Amino acid sequence: MSGANSYDVAIVGGGHNGLAAACYLAEAGKRVVVIEAREKIGGMASSGYLIPEAPRHLINPCALDLMSLRVHPMMPQELQLERHGFRQVEMSPGYVYVHPDGNSLVFWREPEKTAAEIRRFSSRDAEEFLALMKLVDAFIDMAIPMMRVDPAQRNLGAKWQALKAVLRNRHLKPEIMALIGSPAYTSIMERFEHPVVQSALCCLLGAAGPIANDATGIYFALLGFIHRFGLGRAVGGTQALSDALAARLRELGGEILVSAPVAEIIAGDGRAKGVRLKDGRVLSAKAVVASIHPKMALEMVTPGALDRRTLTRVALAPANGHGASPLKVDVALSSQVNYRRIEALRADGLSLRKSVLLIGTSDAVLDNFRCAARGEVSKLPYMWITVPTAVDPGQAPEGQDVAYLYPVATPVEPREGWDAIRDRVGQTVIDQAAEYMQGLKEFEIGRRVEAAPDLEKRLNVHRGCVVHVDTSTTRSAMMRPAAGLGGDSLPVAGLFLGGAGIHPGGGVNGLPGRIAASRVNRFLAR
């Protein structure tokens, strides 16, 4: 085979994790190629001009807020992405809950300021919130060190940091264990009395999954992340992060192939040998990183190279297993929307245009997930809405906007099928959002509606699951994506997973790619 088609590492998937893995490997002196099926890199960390009627309105079809990258900032720092144009802007306030009666509750960066917001509704709830934050802060102190490292390694330094946090907070251990082991909904309802406060927390934590399920108290970590790290966005859209990674990779001598779908991850004699593209090209490699959904990755491996048990275990790993998936509605607008009705009720002059608004009630959150599990669309609005152009005006023509509408829990498989209901549901979402976002319907130029099967088709992600494999205590660390498959290598030597399906899971932070790169380097050094 010619040297031109021979690499140290071939990486399948040009999302931000695949690009991050490639950069780390190229920094280590490896000859690397990233292979992307679509015409552009980025995957879920991408942006584009996707509404034909509005060719100058930038759309972020998946990831927008970069909370996870603020929690785990190592990748952009280590890879010097600022030199390649990546910049973040912090949103303040980041998240604001809005009740159907127009009352709003701001989740400020400072817990004391959030407590002051809550005190407007209930003094008791404000004190309970501050007590809760002590538990949440202690929990994330224990968790973050282990989230940032490869669970297959000894990680003595991280374990020491986690142990110190445990010892420092040992008096809180029973309460912390009770909190993370219980349904988030139960903890909210037993601690807080005012419906606005209850609904605000339900709408926030519901973004992580069905809050009525056991052991969803882990979702309270979102509160800790908000207060400790804040919320940021990429200037120029999320694509700017992926483009910066690509620029860094090319600077390091790495290659990127686009419009190059992979037909086969070649394996023989118990080891990975490279990839075969659908156009017939064969690229040899000493190691292969599959930075795509684990199910799709293993289905690409040469038939017979993996045992049936392994294939089945990964195929059945839960992906939107609760039956719910977000819906995404983007709307291009000819003018600027506003939240003046809501702002007027606050009487403190706070502008909400740059914030993410959480819309719904505690009952709506429960109903949306329950309906989705039955294949139905709830009639109760529960969504997150925001205006990316309020933070970064360059994403639309001057004086115009883009609206980002995100119903959190819609059915993966509606009884009628998405083709039959997509347009109707999209209109309902816009109608519901317009109750809060003034001008949304009047200024519409065009829209884009993407449900779970659309996302699955566009990005080859099983059941449209944005985190690849549902996150839970039983699907983390060495158990992610499944038992026996969260370590250094798969049963095929030299084949590695490197996307959201491995530790630490979903979110735009590059950690799965970083971990995959370290595993490949150890493998190649043997």
Domain ranges of the chain: 3-55+237-317+465-525, 114-229, 320-459
Q: Name the pTM for this structure.
A: 0.96
For the chain, the distance separating the N- and C-terminal CA atoms, rounded to the nearest angstrom, is 24
- Residue 426 pLDDT > 90: yes
The mean predicted confidence, pLDDT, of the chain is 96
Which value, to the nearest 10 degrees, does the dihedral of the CA atoms of residues 140, 141, 144, 149 take?
-150
For residue 130, the model assigns a pLDDT of 98
**Residue range 281-303, pLDDT digits in tens:** 999 999 999 999 999 999 999 99
Average pLDDT in the 99-111 region?
Answer: 97
Rounded to whole angstroms, the Cα distance separating 212 from 276 reads 45
Whole-number Å distance between alpha carbons of 524 and 287: 8
Summarised one tens digit per residue, pLDDT across range 53-98 is 999 999 999 999 999 999 999 999 999 999 999 999 999 999 999 9
Query: Three-state secondary structure along 63-76?
Result: CCECHHHHHCCHHH
pLDDT of residue 504: 96
Q: Quickly state the pLDDT bin for 488 (edges 50, 70, 90).
A: confident
For 447-469, the pLDDT digits (tens) are 999 999 999 999 999 999 999 99
* Predicted local confidence at residue 472, as pLDDT: 84
As a whole number of angstroms, the distance between CA 415 and CA 433 comes to: 24
* Spatial distance between the Cα atoms of 426 and 420, rounded to a whole number of angstroms: 12
CATH architecture of 3-55+237-317+465-525: 3-Layer(bba) Sandwich (3.50)
Burial class (CB in 10 A: 0-12, 13-18, 19+), 215: middle
- Cα–Cα distance, 87 to 391 (Å, whole number): 13
Q: CA-CA distance, 454 to 61, in Å (whole number)?
A: 11
User: For residue range 113-162, what is the model confidence (pLDDT) as tens digits?
Assistant: 999 999 999 999 999 999 999 999 999 999 999 999 999 999 999 999 99
How far apart, in Å, are the Cα atoms of 76 and each of 222, 253, 509? 22, 18, 9
Dist CA 23 CA 402 (whole Å):
32
**Cβ atoms of residues 143 and 151 within 8 Å:** no
CA distance 275 to 267: 9
Q: What is the mean pLDDT of residues 31-36?
A: 98
Residue 182 pLDDT > 60: yes
3 pLDDT above the threshold of 70: no
Grouping H, G, I as helix, E, B as strand and the rest as coil, residue 517 is helix
Look at residues 11, 522, 523, 89 and name the one whose alpha carbon lies nearest to residue 262: 11
| pLDDT reading at 1 higher than 80 | no
